[in-house]
Structure 1
């Protein structure tokens, strides 16, 4: 039998009951059937009501009728924090839940309540009336259901291990080394969230931990200390309920330099209501943050606050695998959904979708880094291509008393922006400075992107200066070397311009690809063919002369050779880090 459910916890519980001898053999919208494996006896139940799980209530319920005994039973399961106020008094629930949470298990409390026929009929009338309301329907339904959620018989507590995916620890370590700050927003209780953060190396061994929660009794403090007392310094907030207490604890946290923060959703909500700006500015500087008992609304709120109080250069990326993460993913600058056991809601709502968390390193360090580098290079060349021809036009107009005549007419101007330079320039999207294995091995390369050196005001100004220099070199070089043949100024300067653009693309390429070579050759071939086809614009006999060829080569060399020399000197005496890593990997 193969089981499917909206939550992996439900599948785990049903699998466990099958192992101990009670199997779910049938389930529909109206009925279910259980089989006792030892005697093959079947138990049929009619489903009367179903109350789905919601992140706000943190519980779900079902009312069934036993076909054999005609008993009506209300079953409820949910988080221990809400269930402990619903079940009958006991002295072991909180302790057992905490013990399981310290082992990294996700706990669920299960309870039941027998209903008489009269009690159920009365409830059915109220729930039907509530569901017919047109205003505040969900609130009325919730109030009716809560009339049953009291004095329930505690059946037990389950602990389900939420296993980490493959290579999660290595992925988080790489993200730390790349300069990315990681926050974990989870609905798990504090002990479970802290245990997972430690086991996944989100909170590293020597990191200090500061815990904020709404109410902490001495017993809870002792248990929390037992959980994370190893090589770490533990700072635990006593209580957060008033403005003064928030300010006091916030000032204490500010003095704990480089301490990782673990905070509950309730405490976060209270602190934000009093000192939103001070709290966010403080915890943004923390190495890692864990927000536990966090609802989907709070996840989206935290994401919005990160966008609000972040540095302008920082971008917020949200990663999730369940329906509870959809609002957070949609609130972030970039959303990444993981196709997991909880369905595809997150991946469908995200900008990018991956199958495993470990694929995040390749998405960021390889594809993301290459995309940024390629976009920067492509943008700069498009700027260069437009500025250089504008400079040439400006010089041409200034020499001829700013007469309103275009230097290049008709198809030459259109062809320059398309067939003559388009293929090599756009082939830059295939360029990469380092192989994928080196980018994954050295996450520090990704940290360079935060500095914005590939596309900044400095690089923009540099490319503008290069364009001004090359445009001036081509125009003034043509005036000096072709003084007697000035009637051919269009052929001279345009040929030098095309050659300059192709050589500049070749200079910028760091890893040659076959299509790059094809693009360079194809563009130059298109220009040669256009000379042959449009002979009324070109003097073929002049273009075939040796005098034309060596002078155009000289002009092109003047415009491009200094840049080649400067790049060679930079590579030899002050190579960028990616060049050093490429040379190091080649030697290895």
Structure 2
């Protein structure tokens, strides 16, 4: 728009120049060459005006905006109210140029686990073989309530422990009851169906949250072990238990885990935890010859190695056929058997006296925490909670490598060794994870699976309706529904026994699929589904993940601010709805709309039905006959299956769904996948043209965060992927309220008013130059010195806009948080509307007319020079701009006063120095001593005062009348706050329980209570 205005002014000036010159064609001027082409001169004048009026395009505005945003980011980053002392983390701004978007958010998309919740998983309930076992909260949990603290240790259920003790008393591998066998297999699933590793040393990241590598221990020798002081620094409450033997295993020149340096050990364990489990070929019945050399196995590395002290090296194979017959599975089996046969006794499994006996052939370092349990490291808190729960019942994961797992059981001298055949990792479409293992002793191959109930229950083996298995599943499902109503996270455990032939056939087909390129992803899913079928139900768990402090209040404030909050979670609907009510995403006053369709037609019917209901309620409300239930605010619940139909472009249900969601205060999406989260953000942003914010803490939230206009990452326990992909980083969800309602409001309001002020002062300055063209024949002459033209925006008026854009608070922070509805100022774009630009432009036009013609009239018929005339106009314009700025400032600080004072000082100091020292500088016309003539002229000062008052008086009157007659919400809140403070100033209210009377005293006389102002009985 500024470009269009500039072009209009230049075209008018060029036409005026042409007309002026043509008016003298018949009246030649004596002694002056006048043989010029008027049209040609008009064209040249057009480009002259482009140069002298280019201030109309506020190029310096871009620099000012960037400076404002940088300083706004600085203040957000250093706000102590956004600092979390428990985690020692503060808010980080990773994007420097979107601070104003924090004040315009209309939709928030939030993950649940780790974002709204603590991500501190507590094993609360489990159901095994239809029997429910509760683990209620204990007093011990209060010691672990601090944010950032680990999950509290689990106190075993006495009933379940009694069943295990009866199981432990049975020898010979026999089971007391089928229920006891089911319990043992349930605990085995908890212990091994995961990616948890047993650490040989505590892990400590070398890179901090800011991306800086901190080398806490410089160690050049790889054989140097951790010192006691280092171990104490890494984990003060832990202890290191080391068993020594006669030999030490050295692998490829690297010392064993107990003697190697911590950084090397850390990266070795990291490589192991991220390695892909090797999948053996189907030669399952292979047996290693007895004379073959059996290599040892590192406690943290799964590759076979030879001990330097070995007395008999491995003999060469005698034939190529024998070489081909030794499969990787056989070699892995030999490694495991070698490992197992060398073990006769184990370390202490628990502090209460459970002994495990290990006969080791090498040094092994096992790290244990203060309570005696091994140190487990997991990819997710869920897996860690399950492994710790199994440990609480004496089912201890002792060792894990890419090839084998070692588990101790509560039975006497029971140690189970498993060879890992295949791991089927978790993915968002299957919603489950599986592991195929072979028990070393029995050679039994078993598939263990854990996952969502919606994924496991449908693939259980078929059974007759009234069979005991059907009754067991019905009892388990009832318990799962109960867990969901309590807001617990549900995982179902199942197994499938496989014979060697079936697994061999599946493995051959799967290998072929893995090497194919056509439809590989779909065929892999089908292959996994083929194996994860006909399962036997073992049990289920209910894990509690508590809400973070301040989450309900934060969500309630955001909804009160008019922001639509969407929570996207992978939990089942019952669990998610329970959490939604706890987090105040839903309230009892809301009308709950549920979309749980199993077909495209059913989804369309449900959406159209609710849309019709909403239209009818709106029509009835407009006629005054609305029913109370129809007037309730609405909340929408939709599951992942329905989202699949809605988000399918072919279904054409996306827009109707968005219309339905737009009429709801909050939306809850259950069983949603990461891709569905990202696509929901995309369609809301593009189809509804709304400003979106996505907040999450894990890698599955990265696509959603990157798709939103503003991405916020929570620096929690799910890694740094979400943080690295985000624009802003918070340590807790509750800080989002202050970030949006306070800083977001300020950033948007400040920038909007600063930009309007910038347009105003530039337009007023340009109009002054244009009015002068009426009196110089549109020649392109300027009455101001060229240095003033260059420095007016760059120096003289640069600080006041910066002060407004960074430090001006329209509403104090406490009032913004107390009145969230004020956020609509930015959400609805009220601070900068299209007509505001034209109002500012008209104001600049009026002020320029006043300044120019008041000065022109004051110097009429005088001998004032062009530079004195121009200096007076420049000074008058500067004073008018600064007074206008004073009217726009809402909260005066020292910085605001300094910006005004420094602007005036810079103008006059530069004028004095320039006019007194520069007689003929830069080839410009001389303005020597002009400013001193102005100082000595009373007309100069009278013109400045008169033109400034007349120019800004209409704006002052308009602002006063508007605040008095029709104040906006921000003004009302400020005035109400001032009235409340003045009404209660110096007063103290007391109440007597015995007399049921309340008295109001002046604080100064409260000690003597001599002056009672009022008593209410």
Report if the CA contact (8 A) 1:281-1:309 is conserved. no
Q: Which runs of 5+ in 2 are unaligned?
A: 1-368, 370-374, 464-469, 618-629, 920-926, 982-1017
Assess, with a 3 A threshold, how the Cα gap between structure 1 residues 580 and 248 changes in structure 2: closer, same or farther: closer
1:264 corresponds to which residue?
A: 639
Please identify, of 120-129 and 524-533, the stretch whose mean Cα deviation from structure 2 is larger.
Answer: 120-129
Could you say what secondary structure the match of 1:582 adopts? Answer: helix
Report the alpha carbon displacement of residue 566 of structure 1 after superposing the two structures with TM: 3.5
C-alpha distance in 2, partners of 1:107/1:520? 63
Could you say what secondary structure the match of 1:135 adopts? Answer: coil
C-alpha distance in 2, partners of 1:466/1:252? 49
Structure of greater Rg: 2
Query: Alignment partner for residue 79 of structure 1, among 452, 470, 490?
Result: 452
C-alpha distance in 2, partners of 1:526/1:22? 78
Q: TM-score, normalised to structure 2's length? A: 0.52
2:552 corresponds to which residue?
A: 169
C-alpha distance in 2, partners of 1:246/1:580? 41
Query: Alignment partner for residue 401 of structure 1, among 750, 757, 777?
Result: 777
Given the alignment of the two structures, is residue 440 of structure 1 paired with residue 817 of structure 2, yes or no?
yes
C-alpha distance in 1, partners of 2:791/2:614? 63
Within 5 Å, give how 1:467-506 maps onto structure 2. 467-483=844-860, 484=862, 485-487=864-866, 488-506=868-886
1:295 corresponds to which residue?
A: 673
Assess, with a 3 A threshold, how the Cα gap between structure 1 residues 241 and 555 changes in structure 2: closer, same or farther: closer
C-alpha distance in 1, partners of 2:775/2:396? 93
2:521 corresponds to which residue?
A: 138
Within 5 Å, give how 1:303-382 maps onto structure 2. 303-310=681-688, 312=689, 314-382=690-758
C-alpha distance in 2, partners of 1:39/1:543? 105
Q: Which runs of 5+ in 1 are unaligned?
A: 216-237
Given the alignment of the two structures, is residue 281 of structure 1 paired with residue 659 of structure 2, yes or no?
yes
2:569 corresponds to which residue?
A: 186
Please identify, of 123-132 and 358-367, the stretch whose mean Cα deviation from structure 2 is larger.
Answer: 123-132
**What do the CA deviations read for 1:417-444 (whole angstroms, capped 9, x no partner)?**
1111111211212211122122111101
C-alpha distance in 2, partners of 1:174/1:496? 47
Report if the CA contact (8 A) 2:595-2:603 is conserved. no
Report if the CA contact (8 A) 1:391-1:471 is conserved. yes
Given the alignment of the two structures, is residue 391 of structure 1 paired with residue 767 of structure 2, yes or no?
yes
2:932 corresponds to which residue?
A: 541
Within 5 Å, give how 1:400-479 maps onto structure 2. 400-428=776-804, 429-479=806-856
Assess, with a 3 A threshold, how the Cα gap between structure 1 residues 264 and 250 changes in structure 2: closer, same or farther: farther
1:224 corresponds to which residue?
A: none
Q: TM-score, normalised to structure 1's length? A: 0.88
Assess, with a 3 A threshold, how the Cα gap between structure 1 residues 269 and 36 changes in structure 2: closer, same or farther: closer
Query: Alignment partner for residue 51 of structure 1, among 399, 404, 424?
Result: 424
**What do the CA deviations read for 1:230-278 (whole angstroms, capped 9, x no partner)?**
xxxxxxxx99548667655654565564432222222243356254333
Could you say what secondary structure the match of 1:363 adopts? Answer: helix
Report if the CA contact (8 A) 1:213-1:239 is conserved. no
Report the alpha carbon displacement of residue 360 of structure 1 after superposing the two structures with TM: 1.1
Within 5 Å, give how 1:148-163 maps onto structure 2. 148-163=531-546
Assess, with a 3 A threshold, how the Cα gap between structure 1 residues 579 and 259 changes in structure 2: closer, same or farther: closer
> What's the Cα RMSD here?
2.6
**What do the CA deviations read for 1:268-310 (whole angstroms, capped 9, x no partner)?**
4335625433332233112222222222222223223323442
C-alpha distance in 2, partners of 1:259/1:404? 64
Given the alignment of the two structures, is residue 109 of structure 1 paired with residue 487 of structure 2, yes or no?
no
1:230 corresponds to which residue?
A: none
Report if the CA contact (8 A) 1:173-1:201 is conserved. yes
Given the alignment of the two structures, is residue 17 of structure 1 paired with residue 393 of structure 2, yes or no?
no
C-alpha distance in 2, partners of 1:25/1:400? 95
C-alpha distance in 1, partners of 2:612/2:515? 51
2:974 corresponds to which residue?
A: 582
Please identify, of 420-429 and 480-489, the stretch whose mean Cα deviation from structure 2 is larger.
Answer: 480-489
Please identify, of 428-437 and 23-32, the stretch whose mean Cα deviation from structure 2 is larger.
Answer: 23-32
Report if the CA contact (8 A) 1:193-1:292 is conserved. yes
- More helix per residue: 1 or 2? 1
Assess, with a 3 A threshold, how the Cα gap between structure 1 residues 527 and 169 changes in structure 2: closer, same or farther: same
**Relative contact order (alpha carbons < 8 A, sep ≥ 6): 1 or 2 greater?**
2
Report if the CA contact (8 A) 1:241-1:270 is conserved. no
Report if the CA contact (8 A) 1:254-1:282 is conserved. no
Report if the CA contact (8 A) 2:756-2:837 is conserved. yes
Report the alpha carbon displacement of residue 28 of structure 1 after superposing the two structures with TM: 4.0
Query: Alignment partner for residue 511 of structure 1, among 876, 891, 895?
Result: 891
Report the alpha carbon displacement of residue 42 of structure 1 after superposing the two structures with TM: 4.9
Could you say what secondary structure the match of 2:540 adopts? Answer: strand
